[in-house]
Amino acid sequence: MNAQLPADYHTHTRLCRHAGGDPIDYARAAAARGIPEIACTDHIPFPNDPHPSIRMTRAELDAYFELVRQAQAANFCTVLLGIEADYQRDLVNGHIQSLLDLADFDVVLGSLHTGPFWDLSPGDPAATPEFVEQMNRTYYLRMTELARTGLYDVCAHFDIVKRTGVRAPEALLAEIVPPALDAVAAAGMAIEINTSGYDHGAAEAYPAPQILAWMNARGIPITFGSDSHDPTQIGRHFEKAIELARAAGYTRRAAFRRRQKTLVPF
């Protein structure tokens, strides 16, 4: 028990409204779980927030920085200052960059959340083959846009479009996912293995094993992220994620400091 696990680069604190715990609580839980390093990655504030229940406000950003500093000073484990800077097409011109300039972030996650893929469960009559194809095409086009902004270090939950368990056919994925991966590789980004998917309808990590193999073929590095919304979830399913990564041929993961990436064994 407690053999050393890789860093957990995806956690959310109570400032995200829908999560519990302060950075120091996550750091304490990580140390107890055998995780030497975490990144705090609360959602970036949005102006005119379309989802005010999931993110801190701009006015709370300084409090976030201070809570991360307190966790760093407590020294339970290494604590990185990160942020999940959700990609919104209309916000990339200026807003996200201006917030990223406010602090020396160690790691910036890019992610997509909005879209029709949130709601439809398998068996929903609205989840027709045509609809599933269209939402997947749209999703991976947005992912390509996200990568091309050059704003991000790590792509979070890369194939979360499968979240509820509604999946695109393999042949369609083979057509639409590789171009998005090419954009991610060209941007020099990593992609996390996000273990929250094991607890969703998808019942597997993000991304799927086939996508991990395509990533490795392109030299795209990985990180590990639990997407914890409570300190008890830190490093969840990481043992399975390590096996998944090794099966895809990975022996190293990306580590970040002040947005500089190095590769370290896991």
Question: What is the rounded CA–CA span in Å between residue 230 and residue 34?
Answer: 17
Residue type, 121: S
Residue 67, φ and ψ in degrees, nearest 5: -65, -40
CA torsion angle for 231, 4, 209, 228 (degrees, to 10)? 10
Q: Does 227 bind Zn ion (CB under 5 A)?
A: yes
Instruction: Provide, rounded to whole angstroms, the least separation between the CB of residue 125 and Zn ion.
Output: 28
For residues 106 and 227, which CB has a smaller minimum distance to Zn ion in the complex?
227
Of 16, 29, 232, 242, whose CA–CA distance to 111 is shortest?
16
Instruction: Provide, rounded to whole angstroms, the least separation between the CB of residue 151 and Zn ion.
Output: 15
Instruction: Provide, rounded to whole angstroms, the least separation between the CB of residue 12 and Zn ion.
Output: 6
Q: Does 37 bind Zn ion (CB under 5 A)?
A: no
Residue closest to Zn ion, measured at CB: 111
Per-residue x/- track, 181-220, Zn ion (CB under 5 A): ----------------------------------------
Burial class (CB within 10 angstroms; exposed 0-12, middle 13-18, buried 19+) of 2: exposed
Per-residue x/- track, 132-161, Zn ion (CB under 5 A): ------------------------------
For residues 52 and 129, which CB has a smaller minimum distance to Zn ion in the complex?
52
Give the binding range for Zn ion (CB under 5 A) out of 75-83, 109-117, 143-151, 241-249.
Answer: 109-117
Give the binding range for Zn ion (CB under 5 A) out of 59-67, 77-85, 138-146, 181-189.
Answer: 77-85
Question: What is the rounded CA–CA span in Å between residue 106 and residue 260?
Answer: 8
Q: Does 111 bind Zn ion (CB under 5 A)?
A: yes
Give the binding range for Zn ion (CB under 5 A) out of 19-27, 59-67, 83-91, 181-189.
Answer: 83-91
Q: Count of CB atoms within 10 A of residue 222's CB?
A: 26
For residues 159 and 227, which CB has a smaller minimum distance to Zn ion in the complex?
227
Q: Which residues contact 149 (CB under 8 A, 6 or more apart)?
A: 87, 92, 110
Concatenated DSSP letters for 113-170? --SGGGTPPTT-TT--HHHHHHHHHHHHHHHHHHHHT---SEE-STTGGGTTS----H
Q: Does 25 bind Zn ion (CB under 5 A)?
A: no
Residues that bind Zn ion (CB under 5 A): 84, 111, 227
